Amino acid sequence: MDTAIIGEALNLLFTFEVLAAIAFGVVAGIVIGALPGLSGTMGIALLIPVTFGMEPVAGLAMLTAIYTSAVYGGSISAILINTPGTPAAAATAIDGYQMTKKGQGGKALGISAIGSMAGGLASGLVLLFVAPQLAKVSLAFSAAEYFLLAVFGLTIISSLAGASLLKGVISGVIGLVAATVGIDILTGYPRFSFGTTALQSGIELVPALIGLFSLSQVMILAEQRRTGTSATAQLVRGKVLPKLRELKTLVPTILRSSGIGAFVGILPGAGGDVGSWVGYNEAKRFAKDKSAFGKGEPKGVAAPETANNAVTGGALIPLLTLGIPGSSATAVLLGGLLVQGMQPGHELFTDDADVTYAVILGFLLANILMGVLALAGARLFVKVTTVPTKYLAPVILVLCVVGSYAINNSIADVWVMIVFGLLGYLLRKTGFPTAPVVLGLILGSLAEKGLRQSIVLAQGDVLGYYLSRPISLVLIVLILLALFAPVFRRKMRGKVTEEPEEQKETV
Amino acid sequence: MHSTRLTRRSALRYGAGLASGVLGPTLLTGCGSSASADAFPDRPIQVIIAYAAGGGTDVGARILQPYVEAELGVPIEVVNRPGGGGWSGWNEIVTAEPTGYVIGFINTPNFMTGYLDPRLGRTEISYENFTPLGNQVTDFSAVAIHPDDDRFDDLPGVINHARGQALTVTSTGVGSDDHYASLGLSDRYGTQFDVLHGEGASDGITALLGRHVDLAFANVGELKSLHDDGELKVVGVMADGRQRSPHLPDVPTFEEEGFGGFSSWSSRGLAGPANIDPRVVDKLAGAIKRGIQNREHIGQLAEQGLAVDYRSPSEHKKMLIRDERTTRQLGTKYIWG
Q: Does the beta-carbon distance from B212 to A143 stay under 8 Å?
A: yes
* B120: closest chain A residue by CA: A190
Q: How distant is the Cα of B214 from the closest Cα of chain A, in angstroms?
A: 10
Contacts of residue A189 in chain B, CB cutoff 8 Å? 119
Q: What is the pLDDT of residues B63-108, one digit of tens each?
A: 999 999 999 999 998 888 888 888 889 999 999 999 999 999 999 8
Q: Does the beta-carbon distance from B210 to A347 stay under 8 Å?
A: no
By CB atoms closer than 10 A (0-12, 13-18, 19+), residue A222 is: middle
Residue B51 has pLDDT above 80, yes or no: yes
Of A82-86, B114-118, B131-135, which one has max mean pLDDT? B131-135
**Shortest CB distance from A457 goes to which of B83, B200, B213?**
B213
Beta-ladder partners of B108: B267
Q: What is the pLDDT of residues A275-305, one digit of tens each?
A: 888 888 889 888 888 888 888 899 999 999 9
**Shortest CB distance from A195 goes to which of B121, B166, B210?**
B121
CB A441 within 8 Å of CB A178? yes
CB A347 within 8 Å of CB B206? yes
Q: Does the beta-carbon distance from A201 to B7 stay under 8 Å?
A: no
> Per-residue pLDDT averaged across A427-431, rounded?
92
- What pLDDT is attached to residue A305? 93
Q: How distant is the Cα of A142 from the closest Cα of chain B, in angstroms?
A: 6
Residues 6+ apart with CB under 8 A from B85: A183, A200, A201, B110, B113, B114, B120, B173
CB B272 within 8 Å of CB B147? no
Residue A100 has pLDDT above 50, yes or no: yes
Selected residues 207-226 of chain B with any CB under 8 Å from a CB in chain A: 207, 209-210, 212-213
Residue A33 has pLDDT above 50, yes or no: yes
Q: In whole angstroms, what is the distance from residue A122 CA to residue A364 CA?
A: 9
Instruction: Taking the CA atoms of A276, A277, A281 and A284 in sequence, report the sign of the dihedral they define.
Output: positive
- CB distance from A187 to chain B under 8 Å? yes
Q: In whole angstroms, what is the distance from residue A327 CA to residue A308 CA?
A: 13
Asked which of A153-157, A212-216, A367-371, B232-236 is least confident by mean pLDDT, the reply is A153-157
Q: In whole angstroms, what is the distance from residue A70 CA to residue A73 CA?
A: 5
Confidence of residue A188 (pLDDT cuts 50, 70, 90): confident
Q: Does the beta-carbon distance from B87 to A200 stay under 8 Å?
A: yes
- CB distance from B280 to chain A under 8 Å? no
Q: Does the beta-carbon distance from A346 to B117 stay under 8 Å?
A: no
CB A476 within 8 Å of CB A148? yes
Confidence of residue B23 (pLDDT cuts 50, 70, 90): very low
* B226: closest chain A residue by CA: A351
> Per-residue pLDDT averaged across A50-67, rounded?
91
Nearest by Cα to A120 from A277, A310, A254 = A310
Q: Does the beta-carbon distance from A456 to B196 stay under 8 Å?
A: yes
Q: What is the pLDDT of residues B155-212, one digit of tens each?
A: 999 999 999 999 999 998 899 999 999 999 999 999 999 999 987 777 888 889 889 9
How far is Cα of residue B25 from the mean position of the Cα atoms in its chain? 27
- What pLDDT is attached to residue B145? 97
Beta-ladder partners of A296: none
Of A33-37, A97-101, A167-171, B32-36, which one has max mean pLDDT? A167-171
Contacts of residue B174 in chain A, CB cutoff 8 Å? 183, 185-188
Q: In whole angstroms, what is the distance from residue B24 CA to residue B11 CA?
A: 14
Q: What is the pLDDT of residues A192-223, one digit of tens each?
A: 988 888 888 889 888 898 898 889 888 988 88
- CB distance from A451 to chain B under 8 Å? no
- What pLDDT is attached to residue B13? 32
Query: B253: which DSSP letter?
Result: B
**Which H or E run includes A122?**
helix A105-138
Contacts of residue A187 in chain B, CB cutoff 8 Å? 174
Delineate the domains of chain B, giving CATH numbers in brackets.
43-138+266-335 (3.40.190.150), 140-264 (3.40.190.10)
Task: Pick from A200, A206, A340, A449 the residue to mutate for testing the B interface (most B CBs within 10 Å).
Answer: A200
* A342: closest chain B residue by CA: B54
Q: Does the beta-carbon distance from B79 to A457 stay under 8 Å?
A: no
CA distances from residue A408 to A307, A334, A419, B131 in whole angstroms, order as listed: 37, 17, 17, 25
Confidence of residue A242 (pLDDT cuts 50, 70, 90): confident
Confidence of residue A493 (pLDDT cuts 50, 70, 90): low
Selected residues 39-68 of chain B with any CB under 8 Å from a CB in chain A: 52-55
- What pLDDT is attached to residue B331? 94
> pLDDT over 70 for what percent of chain B?
89
Nearest by Cα to A264 from A330, A328, A322, A312 = A312
Q: How distant is the Cα of A188 from the closest Cα of chain B, in angstroms?
A: 5
Q: In whole angstroms, what is the distance from residue A384 CA to residue A222 CA?
A: 18
CA distances from residue A133 to A295, A360, B202 in whole angstroms, order as listed: 43, 15, 20
- CB distance from A462 to chain B under 8 Å? no
> Per-residue pLDDT averaged across B33-58, rounded?
83
- What pLDDT is attached to residue A494? 65
Beta-ladder partners of B144: B216, B234
Asked which of A207-221, A339-353, A451-465, B225-239 is least confident by mean pLDDT, the reply is A339-353
